[in-house]
Amino acid sequence: MKLYNVAIVGATGAVGEEMRLILEERNFPVANLKLLASARSVGKRLPFKGDEIAVEELTKDSFAGVDIALFSAGASISREFAPAAVEASAVVIDNSSAFRMDDNVPLVVPEVNPGDVKKHNGVIANPNCTTIIMLVALKPLYDYSRIKRVVVSSYQSASGAGAKGMNELLSQAKSFAAGNDINVEFFAYQLLFNLIPHIDVFQENAYTREEMKMVNETRKIMGDPDIMVSPTCVRVPVMRAHSESINIETEEKITPEKARELFSKAPGLQVIDDPALKKYPMPLFATGQDDCFVGRIRKDLSCENGLNFWVVGDQIRKGAALNAVQIAEELV
């Protein structure tokens, strides 16, 4: 088996840490692993396959000999350093929003459009986490009957905001338990015991940038510029798994029974759908899992060809790190 030199950019962040763990879990054919981060993390040692690897400072000269560079350090870092990685002959798999809507960069969910990987010119983009989790569930239905319209409300965990978001939620819980004042520094409002219907920056059309990512990325990944998507993204006090309430309208009718059959055969998806026994997907079940979970599958009472269902996926894994590693697996 051929082995590959792999670099992780943003190796000490929540997603970068998960990338390293998943590379080992899935026995990705790594010859050498390079861990790159900012100067303040230099020298920190992280475990990999029984060894410890020292974190190095990210520079434009960091990619000599690297075959695959997994980026998860934010859009500005990707824009600055990804061209240097490509110039050094590495293929960049980027987890930020920097290149997602670039016409020359494939945007890939391996369960949905794996063939697009081969269209790369040095960069492959990882979609937004909410888009990934939704499309894993939409794909088997879309293949059976084209989806005309999607209305989705996301219930997004603190992990979607990175380690700082998770730490703030945990800190607020500890403060409440101790009877202390709850501090708000990272989120717009207190997240503990609250919901915040605001993720990213509001746009001129009154949708947030996070919501518009779901619209535009869905159209690109599905190869369908006419699919209509109406999203509402909400931050909830959950640590690391996103949930989504999804309503679709299809060209041909899909019964709940047929939907369950299609879901059960789809890669990366597990059906948990027995309301009589109180069995349905929850963040509690999805955390730490590779697959997404779908349940509450039922007919839309307001629309002849409509269907409702509920999807949950671990945002750090399938919504980010795992999807990137799966792209690398398709690549090799």
Rounded to whole angstroms, the Cα distance separating 239 from 241 reads 7
From residue 254, give the alpha-carbon distance in Å to each of 140, 146, 235, 300: 11, 10, 31, 11
Q: Which residue has the tokens 């947030």?
A: 208
Active site residue 120: no
* Token output for 164: 């700082």
Q: How many residues does the chain have?
A: 332
In the set 120, 129, 233, 292, the catalytic residue is 129
Residue 162 falls in which region: left (phi positive, over 0), alpha (psi -120 to 50) or beta:
left
Task: Give the gyration radius of the chain's Cα atoms.
Answer: 20
Structure tokens at 298: 């039922």
Output DSSP code: residue 184.
-
Which tokens in the block code for residue 116? 């697009």
Q: Write down the H helix ranges in 194-271.
A: 209-222, 256-265
What does the alpha-carbon distance between residue 273 and residue 310 come to, in Å, rounded to a whole number?
Answer: 10
Question: Which one from 120, 198, 233, 242 is the annotated catalytic residue?
Answer: 242
* Residue 198 bears catalytic tag: no
Query: Mind telling me the catalytic residues?
Result: 129, 242
